[in-house]
Amino acid sequence: MNKRTYVLVTLFLTGCASKSPEPAASTVADTRVGTIARLDAALDELVPASAKIEKLADGFQFTEGPLWFPAGYLWFSDVTGNVVRQWSPDGKVIEILRPGGGENKDAPPGSFIGPNGMIADTDGAVLLCQHSNRQIVRISRDRRVSVFLDRFEGKRFNSPNDLVYKSDGALYFTDPPYGLLKQDDDPHKELKFNGVFRYANGKLQVIIKDLTRPNGIAFSPDEKTLYIANSDEKHKVWMAYDVKPDGGVAHGRVFYDATAEKEDGLPDGMKVDMKGNLYCSGPGGVWVFSPAGQQLGTIKPPETPANCNWGDDGKSLYITARTGLYRIKLTEQGMKALY
């Protein structure tokens, strides 16, 4: 498994502690909300009968990209609010970065121009996907922001969305067109496809280019399978790919097709536990799948989720859902998002 640990983020957080960010959106008391739909008895081993969905904070616009810091904080994005925020267990929410994804004066309210997925990088830094800026930036421990990746073969990305590291240090990320005001028809779109990329040893390559809206991304525990969520209203699927020895992928197949689902939401951010079960934001909630693709149940906060991530002791799942931030404590250990 991964050699680098959460100590990286601990160092990062220590480096940030001297700053006093401006207080942001409202917070709420520890309330228990939502429901859990149990479709298979196997879900009870992952989501115990006592599990409750907690609402931790609200007052945002479109939450995304949660990232846990072991010192006891969570960063998350507000895509349409265009800000990165931090939540702490005392209920305090503060701003970390505004604008979080760049600026677009032509964008009407509600546009997806802000920050999205994020992941811990080496040396305690964080990599953040920025929609309006159409790039991945690196936020250092002292919060200096620098461009990490912004082009493929000289052409600007569409709007990097979500990202994951493989244990060998290769970075994989998705690049749908959501940050472009007219998406695929936007005159500023430079790439003819919406791709999935791999960056390793200074080389950037596209590994998937036939998905209409590649979004959430995750590896299986043995890293032999790469999962991609396709957030297309007309083709709501989670895909699975075999990971080749050279880091590329092959044998793409539909892991689960939710196109017929009528509840609000699309396949979006996802995470995996140490036994290979998947927790996928989708229509109506966070869908829980076995490694074989059997839907075991759905964790249903009162708002449609967009992403999730492990936190606390690694058994809590933090969920970003529209205007709120939620948490549910589970049984199985989640895969660490860091390396």
Q: What HEC string does 6-40 produce?
A: CHHHHHHHHHHCCCCCCECCCEEEEEEECEEEECC
* pLDDT score recorded for residue 28: 52
What's this model's pTM, rounded to 2 decimal places?
0.91
Q: What HEC string does 151-180 produce?
A: EECCEECCCCCCEEECCCCCEEEEECCCCC
Please list the pLDDT of the chain residue by residue as tens digits (339 residues): 443 333 333 333 333 433 334 444 545 544 689 999 999 999 999 999 999 999 999 999 999 999 999 889 999 999 999 999 999 999 999 999 999 999 999 999 999 999 999 999 878 899 999 999 999 999 998 999 999 999 999 999 999 999 999 999 999 999 999 999 999 999 999 999 999 999 999 999 999 999 999 999 999 999 999 999 999 999 999 999 999 999 999 999 999 999 999 999 999 999 999 999 999 999 999 999 999 999 999 999 999 999 999 999 999 999 999 999 999 999 999 987 542
* pLDDT score recorded for residue 123: 82
Cis peptide before 99 (omega within 30 of 0): yes
**Nearby residues of 108 by Cβ (< 8 Å), 6 or more positions away:** none
Report the alpha-carbon distance of residue 266 to residue 13 in Å, rounded.
33
DSSP 244: P
Beta strands 126-130 and 249-257 are unpaired
* pLDDT score recorded for residue 25: 52
Domains of the chain: residue spans and CATH: 7-329 (2.120.10.30)
Report the alpha-carbon distance of residue 322 to residue 335 in Å, rounded.
24
